[in-house]
Structure 1
Amino acid sequence: MDRLKALEIFAAVAERNSFTRAAASLDLSTPVVTRAVQELEQSLGLRLLQRSTRRVALTREGEAALARARGVLGAYETLMHSSRRHGAEVAGDIRFSAPASFGAARLAPLLAGFMAQHPQVRIDLVLGDALESMDDGGVDLALRIALVLPEQLVARRIGEVPMGVYAAPGYLRVRGLPRHPDELAGHDCVVHSGPSSCRAWQFSHPVTQECTQPVLRQALRANHVEALMAAALLGQGLAVLPRVLAEPAVARGELQPVLAAWDCPAPGIFLVYRERQHQPLRVRKLIDHLAQAFEGGGALPLQTGVAVQRAQPVLLH
């Protein structure tokens, strides 16, 4: 029998001086109560109760054990009461990990809105592209952008990031505008230095259904999308960038879309957490808040702090 339950049964017998009355108070049978006390005595190596045909009384060892048992049972009740209270409140700390490129521009307003709704929640925002261990890093919730995630992670997909190829107009004037992905072999490419699935550029044509993965000349590799953006803006080559990040630069004439008729795989936006069940209410509320924002298209666009001289787009025929 569960040791905590055995202590509860022992205390009930001691307080009522009866196995029968204790069994009735706990909605158990008398044999079950008797056996539980016997097993507890065997486990402790002590006789806790003196039994006779007329009464049940505590031994001296039993009196000391009862005092300790009450302390254990009281501490357990305090723990349960506190846990239920905290589980019903949207309060406490959340350690939240997210990519640096998402942190300031896109997540900060969403987190500010969440904390305005739940002022007793405190968020520790950790920015970085590496997925910290949900155990070792003490992270309660992580937002990650990836084509696929490791199978062992518990995650919820809340959106995707449409991608496109972009280059500075000055670069295209000098090197030419590629019309087909296979022409990228003759161009400088700025490539993400993440997993192989990130380094490989894949294209599909929505009309012809053609799919291709061209050979790239990797002029520059970087492990951060902001660095890829900066390199593209400075004319160092073509880069696959999130459209939401690149389109403001296109509107300013600083970048130009390349291979616009072709589709690139869109990485998913995932919320990664410890387990599906028994999440603290504050974490569940934040998951729902972020999912609603991204799934509803209400998240703010990414921004970049890189500034370059305005340039005119190049049109090659």
Structure 2
Amino acid sequence: MGCANVAEVTEDELERLEMLEDLLSYPPRFRIQFIADAVVERSEKVTVRFNQVHPLVKNTILLNASLELPLSPSPSATSTRSSIHLMTYANDLLLGDCLYIIASEGDLGKKWFDFGYRLGLTYGQLQDIELTSIDFTQCTRKVIIHWRDQNKSKSWEPLAEALAKIGFQDLAHRVKDNFNSPSVLESKPEDKEGHYKGVYCNLCDQYHLKPEDIQQEVPNIDSPPDMVDLVNLVAARIPNKFYQFGTAVRINDGYLKSLYDAYHDPMDRFTAVLNRWSDNDPDTYTWSTVIKVLQSHAIGAYAVAQDVKKHLTTIAEAAEHTPN
């Protein structure tokens, strides 16, 4: 306040100091970013109120347009928007099923961009989707809708192939099995090794053993899993599937629901499920059960099941070459 000595501060100056303190402390200083979950075609002013503070905080802000649109939209742009708006599950079952399997149940995360690029969307389209979406799930959903709008005559294959190419073989098989019987045999390349490896899958370029072949072809399949291996191979790969896995191995539903409160991390929940299964039902606690559950329609983790089989084969081969 310009006073050289504290003793010289007057009552008037103290009052001015209190007033200045009030001015600096209210309203509070903070920054809020507003993100639209749809395209904002033109900028507009809106009033923002914060009612749960006293006194009331009110301010007017300008929401900038998401996209710079021409004054008279072109006929092609208008028809594109209207055709998307008219899409329903009734008039496009493929779109509805793919939206549910890929966008609702899957989690592409940041790979939604690669997914869209594989489907043939342009960089400009993908950039617009990114600018007008609030999360990765919405980005994935818009990618599927835009692809379908441009490819009404195509079937599910491009979607499944794009998923497999970006590393989501499990989701690719979920899409495939939804529209095509999983038991259909596919053509396979020339097998020069001369021994049975399973049914060749064109989708992910790998061999898959049929359920009836697993028991004979996979070593140590009836042995109980090592818990560390089981956690690393299964729980770490599909942590959010702990409830479905627990249901499949017949763990009490009440116990499964209690895990939501007991553990914050889904992987900890999955680990608890595996420990419970090991303690309560040791007769079914085998690698065979693990593989069958992973390949079930409820979980559909084909790639994880494939890695479990490779793990068991690798252990058996290493044991054969270990000197006694």
- Between structure 1 and structure 2, the one with the greater Rg is 1
Q: Which protein has the bigger helix share?
A: 2
In which range does the TM-score fall when normalised by the shorter chain?
Answer: under 0.3
TM-score normalised per structure 2:
0.22
More strand as a share of residues: 1
Higher relative contact order (CA 8 A, sep 6+): 1
| TM-score for both structures, normalised by structure 1 | 0.22
